[in-house]
Amino acid sequence: MEQSELTRDYKGFTICGGATPVHNDIGRSFAVGSVLLVRTDNRVLQVDRFYDPLLVYEDEDQARWFGIFLAELAVDHCVPPPAYYLRPMDFAWAVDILRRAAAECTEREIRRPKLYEALDFLEGALDRKWLVRRYRRALIGDRRNWREKEELRETLRVAARGIQYACAALLVARMNKLARGFRENKAEIDNLRWQLSIVRKP
């Protein structure tokens, strides 16, 4: 069980340093760094969590301070700025996140909050929800070797392509419906047209 954490504000985030006990090693703790963001709806989003099994300390306070340092490094070098997480999700961004995750799944951990936010948005918006569920199912479990990671990448690419086509069809249908009152709906049509241009990218 993680003990009390050190917290402070840092570049628009709340960063935390914690100490998690090492299993079967009484009196020693891992240093854990967390990056949190309070959203406009007052929900707290854990942007990322960092720990290294080599960073073990006998002093819990020292582990917590090192956790704060890990969180600072994450904000400075790994985590996008707060605006990235506060921007409302739309079709263009959701599809782009899914495509990037499919391309990068062999190189880094892709199961991050923004990916699941994109999947939740698409599952709520699309009629063919099974396309999103297929992508989500592929994320379950760990891939330990190159072959398994390549299989995951191909599975995610195929699933992302199906979602991409479904989103494009939905955006076109919405634009056609709004076109009946083109002058009144021009701003929304332009926004949908922009989203469509992103969604249709190969």
Residues 117, 36: Cα–Cα separation, whole Å: 16
69-121 pLDDT, tens per residue?
Answer: 999 999 999 888 888 888 889 999 999 999 999 999 998 889 888 899 999 99
Distances in Å between the Cα of 88 and the Cα atoms of 75, 92, 118, 169 are 21, 11, 10, 21
Cβ pair 22, 10 in contact under 8 A? no
Q: Percentage of the chain surpassing pLDDT 90? A: 61
8-64 pLDDT, tens per residue?
Answer: 999 999 999 998 888 776 788 889 999 999 887 788 888 888 877 788 888 889 999
Q: Phi and psi for 106 in degrees, rounded to 5?
A: -85, -15
115-141 pLDDT, tens per residue?
Answer: 999 999 999 999 999 999 999 999 998
Mean pLDDT, rounded, of the chain? 90
Cβ pair 170, 162 in contact under 8 A? no
* pTM recorded for the entire structure: 0.69
Residues 175, 192: Cα–Cα separation, whole Å: 7
Which residue ranges make up each domain of the chain?
A: 6-81, 88-199
Q: What is the pLDDT of residue 2?
A: 45
